[in-house]
């Protein structure tokens, strides 16, 4: 965290998703920004589940959100699974707390009971709209005569509790946008307690942010209008409003909000597709943040992001998701890993895709198979098909390879040369493998052939395929004599066909 952000020392921030769907990339980015601020400022990162919509909130989505965050490396200090001093961390378990605050606002006259039914409200709204007026709650219940009030209370009819929006200007202190001032007369007397006694969204959020001692609220700019109501509630409850940062939402390349139409939108989809968590984190951070003017760096590890991320570098402009850029970044992160690390990362995908034969390989050979394909990987799953080359039985030719071998001139002589060169080399390390390929080239040259005349049948005979990893890896994987044996098996099959 840069020094200019020193007001961010010990920031207590929260990520407050509603578990009504899998963790969306946009929410993952919100979580990331909060996490970076918490970690960079030596503060705390709170996970709170806003599950007040009991119909749409699902346990499976809670799990997906938490798993996806863990996969991204965004660990939290307090949350529904680990508890903490300000729990519970699920809003559905905090209704009693909200009720207490709702009653306090009522007792202080900062809120009032509203007996208007949904039907009545709807009728008045329609009338207002028909008269060309914008509808805002008309405050019918804000100033009921005492006898009317007593009658309604005695009737025991259902009521909601509305916040009495005070007159004046409300200032939202936004770290990205400066002070956002709104005339309170533009705001409805919004509902803070529903008729079933549960808290409305705004009250729940503010009570949580107060009781969880949140110092900075970082979330998408779709909540900017809510922030005005939140500031009013903070003040009404005698609490200082936290600082806000409303970052831009994610948009697709066509400028509309990022949705399934553009491609995968949930973090878990990217995990399944074989993206590296560090690459996704890197890309999501870069979508609205850069290290500074003239600093062209684009590749950051999470530790570097913690070190370098600063509010100063965050831009308010539209964040456009660029799939090609993500792939490029993923590739850079894969490149930066050692062969052994990439092998570890690929292994779960071998398990998932049922590639038991590859998994049964001794580790050093599996590592060669991974190394053979890793340079072309944009995602960890990209090389799986190519890796299958290494578990093909000897002499099994696909149609294309078969046709190619059938028409190759001087094929038998080329294969003889391959076998001779291979059998002469006892070692199977990289240098030996490179030496073998060089010798084959030299043998071709001696005969006035192009190198392909030997190397092509070599590939076809060893793998039975027309495409596949670099020859050097084939030799390293099977060893020179193993390759020679495979060529011999193929040669015998070809022989058999001729007879
Ligand atoms: N639960 C809200 C959402 O998922 C977030 C509210 C907030 O961050 O204040 O959009």
pTM as predicted: 0.91
The reply to whether ligand 1 has any atom less than 6 angstroms from the CB of 204 is: no
Answer yes or no: is 25 within a domain.
no
Query: Do 100 and 217 share a domain, yes or no?
Result: yes
User: Domain range spanning residue 238?
Assistant: 94-247
Contact between residue 220 and residue 246 where contact means Cβ atoms under 8 Å apart = yes
Number of CB atoms found within 10 A of residue 127's CB: 12
Residue nearest to atom 2 of ligand 1 (CA): 17
pLDDT at 416 over 80: yes
| Mutation choice for ligand 1 from 22, 33, 50, 234, CB with most ligand atoms inside 8 A | 50
Residue 498 burial (C-beta neighbours within 10 Å; 0-12, 13-18, 19+): exposed
Please provide residue 458's backbone torsions phi and psi, each rounded to the nearest 5 degrees.
-60, -50
Looking at the CA of residue 209, tell me the nearest atom of ligand 1. 9
Q: Is 13 in the pocket of ligand 1 (CB under 6 A)?
A: no
Instruction: Identify whether residues 379 and 404 lie together within a single domain.
Output: no
Do 279 and 418 belong to one domain? no
- Work out how many domains the chain is built from and give that number: 3
Cα angle 175, 180, 184; round to 5? 140
Residue 200 Cβ inside 6 Å of ligand 1? The answer reads no
Q: What is the pLDDT of residue 293?
A: 83
Place of tokens 């995602």: 379
Are 212 and 192 within one domain? yes
Nearest residue to 17 via CA among 191, 176, 219:
219
Domain-embedded: residue 10: no
pLDDT value, residue 3: 39
Through-space distance between the first and last CA atoms of the chain, rounded to whole angstroms? 75
Q: Which of 384, 265, 371 is nearest to 326 (CA)?
A: 265
The SS3 assignment for 466 reads coil
Which ligand 1 atom is nearest residue 15's CA? 8
State the helix-helix crossing angle for 471-498 and 411-423, rounded to 10 degrees. 130
Q: Is the residue at 188 inside a domain?
A: yes
Per DSSP, the three-state class of 52 is coil
Does the pLDDT of residue 463 top 80, yes or no?
Answer: yes
- 329 in a structural domain: yes
Instruction: Return the best residue to mutate from 223, 229, 244 for the ligand 1 pocket (most ligand atoms within 8 A of CB).
Output: 223
249 contacts 220 by C-beta, under 8 angstroms: yes
Distance CA 246, CA 218 (A): 6
Residue 90 Cβ inside 6 Å of ligand 1? The answer reads no
Classify residue 320: in a domain, yes or no: yes
Q: Are residues 381 and 480 in the same domain?
A: no
Q: What pLDDT, in 10s, does the model give residues 132-153? A: 988 899 999 999 999 999 999 9
Q: Where does a domain end: 351, 370, 387?
A: 387
Half-sphere exposure of 55 (CA within 13 A, CB side): 0
* 54 three-state secondary structure: coil
Among candidates 426, 404, 444, which has minimal Cα distance to 484?
426
Q: Write the CB contacts of 408 (distance below 8 Å, at least 6 apart in sequence).
A: 414, 453, 456, 457, 460
pLDDT average, residue stretch 458-478:
97
Residues 216 and 98 in one domain: yes
Residue 478 pLDDT class (50, 70, 90 cuts): very high
Query: For residue range 387-402, what is the model confidence (pLDDT) as tens digits?
Result: 999 999 999 999 999 9
CATH number at residue 316: 1.10.1160.10
Name the nearest CA neighbour of 213 among 245, 242, 174, 172. 242
Are residues 102 and 242 located together in one domain of the fold? yes
Q: Are residues 127 and 212 in the same domain?
A: yes
Ligand 1 contact via 225 beta carbon (within 6 Å)? no
Q: What is the CATH number of the domain that holds 421?
A: 1.10.10.350
Residue nearest to atom 10 of ligand 1 (CA): 17
pLDDT at 498: 63
Task: Check pocket membership of 218 for ligand 1, CB cut-off 6 A.
Answer: no
Same domain for 430 and 477, yes or no, is yes
Condensed to tens digits (0 to 9), the pLDDT of residues 279-308 reads 999 999 999 999 988 899 999 999 999 999
The enclosing domain of 148 has a CATH number of: 3.40.50.620
In contact, 48 and 91? CB cutoff 8 Å: yes
Q: Ligand 1, residues 24, 46, 219: which to mutate, most atoms within 8 A of Cβ?
A: 219
- 124 C-beta closer than 6 A to ligand 1: no
- Does residue 473 contact residue 368 with C-beta atoms inside 8 Å? yes
Asked whether 18 lines ligand 1 (CB < 6 A), one says: yes
Decide: residue 209, CB within 10 A, 0-12 exposed, 13-18 middle, 19+ buried: buried
Residue 23 lies in a domain: no
Give the residue numbers annotated as catalytic, written as ranges.
Answer: 260
Residue 55 alpha carbon to ligand 1 centre in Å: 17
| pLDDT tens track for 254-272 | 999 999 999 889 999 999 9
357 touches 393 (CB < 8 A) = no
Nearest CA to ligand 1 atom 6: 16
Residue 374 and residue 396 share a domain: no
3-state secondary structure 310-376: CHHHECCCCEECCHHHHHHHHHHHHHCCCHHHHHHHHHHHHHHCCCHHHHCCCHHHHHHHHHHHHCC
Question: 76: CA distance to ligand 1 center in Å?
Answer: 17
- Residue 219, ligand 1, Cβ within 6 A: yes
What is the number of residues in the chain? Answer: 499
Bridge partners, 217 (sequence order):
244
Give whole-number Cα distances, 493 to 325, 397, 411, in Å.
47, 10, 13
Q: Are residues 168 and 299 in the same domain?
A: no
Domain membership flag for residue 45 = no
Let me know whether 152 and 199 are in one domain: yes
Q: Which residues contact 172 (CB under 8 A, 6 or more apart)?
A: 179, 180, 181, 182, 224, 227, 228, 231, 241, 244
- Return mean pLDDT, the chain: 95
Tell me the best of 17, 53, 227, 245 to mutate to test the pocket of ligand 1, counting ligand atoms within 8 Å of each CB and taking the most: 17
Q: How confident is the model at residue 2 (pLDDT cuts 50, 70, 90)?
A: very low
Is residue 427 included in any domain, yes or no? Answer: yes
């Amino acid at each position: 965290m840069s020094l200019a952000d020193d007001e961010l020392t010990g920031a207590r921030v929260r990520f407050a998703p509603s578990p009504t769907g899998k963790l969306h990339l946009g929410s993952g980015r919100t979580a990331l920004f909060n996490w970076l601020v918490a970690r960079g400022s030596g503060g705390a990162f709170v996970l709170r589940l806003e599950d007040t919509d009991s119909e749409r909130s699902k346990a499976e989505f809670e799990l997906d959100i938490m798993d996806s965050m863990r996969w991204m490396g965004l660990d939290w200090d307090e949350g529904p699974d680990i508890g903490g001093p300000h729990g519970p961390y699920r809003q559905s378990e905090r209704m009693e707390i909200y009720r207490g605050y709702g009653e306090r606002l009522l007792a202080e006259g900062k809120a009032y009971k509203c007996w208007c039914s949904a039907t009545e409200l709807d009728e008045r709204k329609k009338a207002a709209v028909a008269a060309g007026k914008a509808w805002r709650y008309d405050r019918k219940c804000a100033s009921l005569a005492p006898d009317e009030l007593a009658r309604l209370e005695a009737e025991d009819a259902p009521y909601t509790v509305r916040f009495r929006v005070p007159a004046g200007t409300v200032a939202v202190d936004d770290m990205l946008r400066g002070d956002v001032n709104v005339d309170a007369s533009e705001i409805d007397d919004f509902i803070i307690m529903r008729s079933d006694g549960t808290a409305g969204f705004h009250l729940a959020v503010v009570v949580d942010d107060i009781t969880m001692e949140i110092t900075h609220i970082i979330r998408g700019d779709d909540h900017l209008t809510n922030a005005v109501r939140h500031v009013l509630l903070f003040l009404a409850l005698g609490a200082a409003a936290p600082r806000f940062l409303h970052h831009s939402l994610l948009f697709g390349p066509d400028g509309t909000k990022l949705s399934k139409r553009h491609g995968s939108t949930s973090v878990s989809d990217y995990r399944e597709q074989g993206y590296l968590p560090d690459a996704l984190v890197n890309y999501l951070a870069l979508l609205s943040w850069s290290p500074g003017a003239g600093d062209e760096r684009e590749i950051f590890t999470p530790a570097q992001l913690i070190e370098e991320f600063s509010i100063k570098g965050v831009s308010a402009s539209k964040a456009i998701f660029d799939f090609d850029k993500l792939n490029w970044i993923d590739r850079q992160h894969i490149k930066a890993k050692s062969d052994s690390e990439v092998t570890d990362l690929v292994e779960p995908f071998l398990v998932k895709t049922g590639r038991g034969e590859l998994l049964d390989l001794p580790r050093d050979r599996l590592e060669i198979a991974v190394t053979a394909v890793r340079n072309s990987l944009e995602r960890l799953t990209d090389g799986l098909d190519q890796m299958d080359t290494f578990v093909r039985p000897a002499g099994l030719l696909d149609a294309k390879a078969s046709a190619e071998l059938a028409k190759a001139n001087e094929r038998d002589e080329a294969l003889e040369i391959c076998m001779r060169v291979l059998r002469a080399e006892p070692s199977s390390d990289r240098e030996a493998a490179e030496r073998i390929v060089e010798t084959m080239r030299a043998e071709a040259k001696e005969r006035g052939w192009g190198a392909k005349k030997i190397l092509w049948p070599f590939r076809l005979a060893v793998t039975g395929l027309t495409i596949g990893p670099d020859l050097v890896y084939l030799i390293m994987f099977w060893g020179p004599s193993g390759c020679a044996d495979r060529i011999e098996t193929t040669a015998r099959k070809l022989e058999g066909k001729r007879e």
